[in-house]
Amino acid sequence: MVEQKPLYRLLERLVDIPSESGDETALGDFLFEWMKENALSPERQKTRDGRFNVLGRLTGSLRSESPKCLLLAGHMDTVSAGKDWERDPFCLEMTDEGFASGLGVADMKGGIACILWIAKKLMDDACPFAGTVELAFFVDEERYSIGAHDYVLSPVKHCPDFAILAEPHFHEIIVGAPGKVLLELVCEGKTGHASRPSEGINAIEIASEMMHFLNRDMAAAGDGDRGSYSALNIITNIDNYSLSIPDYCKVILNKQLVPGEKLEDFLKNIEEVFEQKVGRGSLSIKRGLPEYPGHKVEENNPFLKSLVREIADFGLPAPTLRNNDGVSDANILQSFLGIPTVLFGPKGSRYHTRDERIDLGSMDMYIDILDSYIRNVLK
């Protein structure tokens, strides 16, 4: 049976507290109190909808002419358990093979437990580094990243020089990701009797034409420099049978952004297509949440290079540096605050399923790696 280390008991407590996205308060309160007990200077940072992020800080005891700041961060929320769980999703189960399972155990309560334990080790050792280590636990990453958005909008005395999100990527470091944004494209026409369509401007038809020409334009441009997009929904102002020409049609569009691609260029392209190819009615565009610009950490970043060396010093294979397929809070931190941000955390698998699990041994190794990394990189 796996030894019941204090770290694992902390993980068990985190999994025991439900924190579905939108309802993270109980977990936030627990983190605040745990950090307070361990002198990690916690604070609750309110978000726009009444929830809160939990922040903390450690100040190094060593002196440096150019002190640096490192941010260790994660998200408190999980997805919903759904109906396919055959046991209590909030009960941590550990196996003889060295794994633990439970809702959010990998994505990312295991990472949170590791961050807390690293901070505790450093504090117990009188913070043997120069500069500061900041901690941040965000709400809402699984939905709109409201926690990360409000973190970057808050007044900050200084900006971290590098950030590590303890997402479940152990044998690889995620150094970049595409972006995405949800757009509302509102086409307005002119109503009239549907038996005389030429006397009006059908908003559904002009929205359809707009999408047709956008698709043709995308196909002509090819892949590489532009991310894909997809229409998710179409909403009109007519719910039932009517012989009125619809004068309103809203297209909900998800737009992927490759690193370096500017959303403003895509919006300008839509407006040009509408004006030149559709040529009737009107178009208005609204940007909504989620909005994640693409991001990329340069491979010669000194903090990243030091992290790769630290991993090698522990006898592990050199981690793969790659771009992620999806988005995370890293998109927000780097794009809006300019913090080079990577994803590196304990090894997990099968996220968002009833079989979600984490490798307990990787948690111990991860803590040792980052503890040593902080002492070496913050000198």
pLDDT value of residue 341: 98
Residue 247 CA to residue 233 CA, distance in Å, equals 17
Cα Rg, the chain, nearest whole Å: 24
Q: Does 205 map to a domain?
A: yes
**Known catalytic residue at 77:** yes
3-state secondary structure of 46: strand
**Known catalytic residue at 142:** no
Of 24, 77, 142, 161, the active-site residue reads 77
pLDDT value of residue 1: 44
Please report how many Cα atoms fall inside a 13 Å half-sphere around the Cα of residue 168, on the Cβ side. 18
Whether residue 77 contacts residue 145, with contact meaning beta carbons closer than 8 Å, is answered with no
Last residue of a domain, one of 267, 292, 317: 292
Domain count along the chain: 2
Two tokens, residue 12: 């068990």
Q: Does 117 map to a domain?
A: yes
| Whether the bond into 108 is cis, omega within 30 of 0 | yes
Of 141, 150, 167, 188, the active-site residue reads 141
- Residue 337: pLDDT band (50, 70, 90) is very high
> Does residue 168 carry a pLDDT above 60?
yes
> Does residue 228 carry a pLDDT above 70?
yes
Same domain, 83 and 170: yes
Last residue of a domain, one of 259, 292, 325: 292
pLDDT value of residue 262: 84
The tens digit of pLDDT for each residue in 245-256 reads 999 999 999 998
- Residue 124: pLDDT band (50, 70, 90) is very high
- b or e along 361-371 (b: 16 or more beta carbons within 10 Å of the residue's beta carbon)? ebbbbbbebbb
Last residue of a domain, one of 272, 292, 312: 292
The tens digit of pLDDT for each residue in 83-102 reads 888 899 999 999 889 999 99
Same domain, 46 and 145: yes
pLDDT value of residue 227: 83
- Residue 345: pLDDT band (50, 70, 90) is very high
pLDDT value of residue 347: 97
Q: What percent of the chain has pLDDT over 90?
A: 80
Q: What is the pTM of this model?
A: 0.85
Q: Does 1 map to a domain?
A: no
CA nearest 287: which of 183, 185, 180?
Answer: 183
Q: Does 277 map to a domain?
A: yes
**Domain that includes residue 262, residue range:** 179-292
Residue 219 CA to residue 288 CA, distance in Å, equals 26
> Does residue 331 carry a pLDDT above 50?
yes
The tens digit of pLDDT for each residue in 187-203 reads 999 999 999 999 999 99
The tens digit of pLDDT for each residue in 347-377 reads 999 989 998 999 999 999 999 999 999 999 9
The answer for residues whose C-beta is within 8 angstroms of residue 51's C-beta and 6 or more apart is 22, 24, 25, 28, 139, 140, 146, 147
The answer for residues whose C-beta is within 8 angstroms of residue 4's C-beta and 6 or more apart is none
Rounded to 5°, the CA angle 174-133-178 comes to 25
